[in-house]
């Protein structure tokens, strides 16, 4: 079989494992993989850690995009030969990642771009990671992260459309009110979305915004920059079952002016967090609150007791 024009083959030896002759065909996407290293680590709350990433090499993050809202990126916890293979694959990094032997395939997790800062030394990507009592591979990396540690970032390329590539937050043009619902894993996405709503890059204008956020304890509340008039309700779990405070608050919640079907028709809801809790929240909004299902964006970020 002929190799497609522009394709390249990957050869990699990792201990006893050997990956050879895997053809990575060129597929043009708006995502790429960037080499990064930890510049700083800062605990925002007992449960949330901010990791600042700088380019691992001159200009390594120059083309990193920052579409805003709840833009999803991926961190690949790789270094050494594996990182070289994935970085060299560029836009086809995921095919190269899948082609790796199971024993050599590094952990990969999805996060939200908290912000990209311009500094004298180049661009810096900030990512907020939840600290778990029993961390998996990604959580263990976050716990041990220190300046100089290397990681790969898969993210949108700067200046490549669409404007909000990788964002799930997509309110219809006729939105009159916004409801954001989430747990601590959704806090980075909610925080960035609120900041962007305050600056109004999606052109919604003045809309009512209400936020329900469940966090482990009261100490996990953060100062947020929000649109004028936005109402933020913090729901400390304090040992209660995951989702208990959130679902109770959602059941009691009545948006201002949403007593009529016309007002409900203008509501847009965004829900993210533990998968079962998210499903229950969506069911309540659609079946009991009467919100049209196409006006509810919902995402299970994690699953209690096992992988998604």
User: Splitting the chain (308 residues) into consecutive groups of 10 residues, what average pLDDT does each group show?
Assistant: 43 42 49 93 97 91 89 93 90 91 93 93 94 85 95 89 80 92 98 92 80 98 95 97 96 62 76 97 92 94 83
What is the pLDDT at residue 265?
65
Residue-level pLDDT at 254 = 63
CATH architecture entry for 177-302: 3-Layer(aba) Sandwich (3.40)
- pLDDT on residue 92: 86
Whether residue 57 contacts residue 35, with contact meaning beta carbons closer than 8 Å, is answered with yes
pLDDT at position 32, please?
86
Q: Tokens for 207, please give them.
A: 């809309």
DSSP states along 17-83: EEEEEEEE-----SEEEEEEEEEEEEEEETTEEEEEEEESSTTTTTTB----TT-EEEEE---HHHH
pTM of the predicted protein model? 0.86
If we measure between CA atoms, which residue out of 308, 236, 252 comes closest to residue 278?
Answer: 308
Q: Which CATH superfamily is domain 29-156 in?
A: Translation factors (2.40.30.10)
Question: Which part of the chain is CATH 3.40.50.80?
Answer: 177-302
Q: Distance between CA 114 and CA 267 in Å, rounded?
A: 25
Residues with Cβ < 8 Å from 243, sequence gap 6 or more? 183, 214, 273, 274, 276, 277, 280
Closest CA to 108 of 74, 150, 149: 74
Question: Which tokens hold the place of 98?
Answer: 């899948």
Instruction: Determine the pLDDT at residue 29.
Output: 58
């Amino acid at each position: 079989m002929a190799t497609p024009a522009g394709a390249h083959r990957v050869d990699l030896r990792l201990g006893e494992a050997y990956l050879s002759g895997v053809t990575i065909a060129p597929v043009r996407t708006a995502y790429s993989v960037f080499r990064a290293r930890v510049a700083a680590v800062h605990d925002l709350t007992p449960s949330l850690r901010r990791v600042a990433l700088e380019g691992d090499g001159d200009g390594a993050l120059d083309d990193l995009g920052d579409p805003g809202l709840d833009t999803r990126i991926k961190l690949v916890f790789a270094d050494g030969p594996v990182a070289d293979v994935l970085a060299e694959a560029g836009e086809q990094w995921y095919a190269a990642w899948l082609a790796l032997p199971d024993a050599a395939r590094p952990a990969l997790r999805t996060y939200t771009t908290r912000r990209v800062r311009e500094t004298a030394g180049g661009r810096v990507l900030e990512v907020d990671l939840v600290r778990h009592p029993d961390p998996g591979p990604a959580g263990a990396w976050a716990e041990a992260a220190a300046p100089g540690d290397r990681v790969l970032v898969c993210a949108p390329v700067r200046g490549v459309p669409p404007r909000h590539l990788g964002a799930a937050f997509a309110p219809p043009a006729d939105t009159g009110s916004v409801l954001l619902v989430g747990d601590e894993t959704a806090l980075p996405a909610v925080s960035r979305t609120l900041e962007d709503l305050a600056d109004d890059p999606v052109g919604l204008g003045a809309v009512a915004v209400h936020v329900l956020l469940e966090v482990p304890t009261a100490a996990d509340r953060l100062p947020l920059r929000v649109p004028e008039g936005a109402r933020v309700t913090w729901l400390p779990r304090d040992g209660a079952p995951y989702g208990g405070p959130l679902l109770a608050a959602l059941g009691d919640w009545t948006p201002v002016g949403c007593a009529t079907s016309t007002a409900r028709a203008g509501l847009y809801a965004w829900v993210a967090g533990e998968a079962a809790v998210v499903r229950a929240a969506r069911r309540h909004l659609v079946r009991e609150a009467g919100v049209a299902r196409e006006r509810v964006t919902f995402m299970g970020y994690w699953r209690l007791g096992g992988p998604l």
